[in-house]
Amino acid sequence: MKRFNVFALLIDQYRYIRNTSSKRAAVMTRLILICCAPVLAWVSWAQGWQLQSVGELIGALGLLAGVFISAYAIVFGLRVTQGRRPTSNLKLKVAHSMDEAALTLLSTGLLAGIDAGFLAVVSAMTPEGSSVGVGMTAAASGLSSLVGLYFLMSVRRLHMLYVEAFPPYWRVRAMVGHEEQSEQKPSHH
C-alpha cells in the first residue's frame, strides 16, 4: 500500500517549505496552503457556485500535470549531477533550491492529476446538460485552488533556482559595490 501513498510526497514537500535565509519553517506560506482549499470550498458552497462544464478543465489539468512532472524530471536530472554533498556554499544553496523545486514541481503535477481525475468522475456523474452540484463544485474549487497555489510556488521556486545559480548582473553589481564600500571605510584603531 505504500506505493499508493501520495500523501508522503505532499508531507515531504510541506516540510521543505522554509525561508531560504534562516532555514526556519515558512509559517505564513504553510498556513496559506493549509487554509486555502477549505476556505475557497466553503466560499463556493456558501455562494452556491455551480460549474456549467468541466471538459475543458479536465484537459487543461491533465496537460498541466504532464508538464510539471516533465519539469520535475529535468530538475531531478540536474540535481543528480550536483552530488549528495555539494562542495561550495553556492552549490549547496543551488542543491537545496533544486530539492525544493523538484518536490514542488512533483506535488503540482500530482495535485493537477488528482484534480483532473476528480473532475472526470464528476463529469461522468453529471447528466448531460446539467450543472455540477454545489457540493462537487465546492470540492473542485478547493482542490483547484491548491493546484493554483502550487503552480505559483513552482514558478517562483524555478525563478529562485535560476537567480541563485546565475545571479543577474544587478545583484552581482550590488554585491560587488557593497564589498568595495566596506573595503574603503577607514578602520578606527
For residue 87, the number of C-alpha atoms closer than 13 Å in the C-beta half-sphere is 3
pLDDT bin (cut points 50, 70, 90) of residue 169 is: confident
In this prediction the pTM is 0.82
pLDDT surpasses 60 at 2: yes
- Higher-scoring residue by pLDDT: 189, 80: 80
Of 111-120, 134-143, 171-180, the least confident: 171-180
Sorted by where each begins, the domain ranges of the chain are 9-16+24-166
Show Cβ contacts of residue 50 under 8 Å, excluding neighbours closer than 6 positions. Answer: 131, 132, 133, 134, 137
pLDDT surpasses 70 at 188: no
> So what's the pLDDT on residue 118?
95
> So what's the pLDDT on residue 20?
67
What confidence tens digit (pLDDT) does each residue in 58-113 have? 999 999 999 999 999 999 888 888 777 767 777 777 788 888 889 999 999 999 99
> So what's the pLDDT on residue 187?
54
- How far apart are the C-alpha atoms of 29 and 97, rounded to whole Å? 16
Report which listed range, 15-24, 149-158, 163-172, 177-186, is most confident: 149-158
Tell me the average pLDDT across 148-159. 92
> So what's the pLDDT on residue 79?
84
Mean pLDDT across the chain, nearest whole number? 86
Of 19-33, 117-131, 162-176, the least confident: 162-176
> So what's the pLDDT on residue 164?
79
For the chain, what percent of residues have pLDDT higher than 70?
90
From residue 66, give the alpha-carbon distance in Å to each of 6, 55, 63, 76: 16, 17, 5, 15
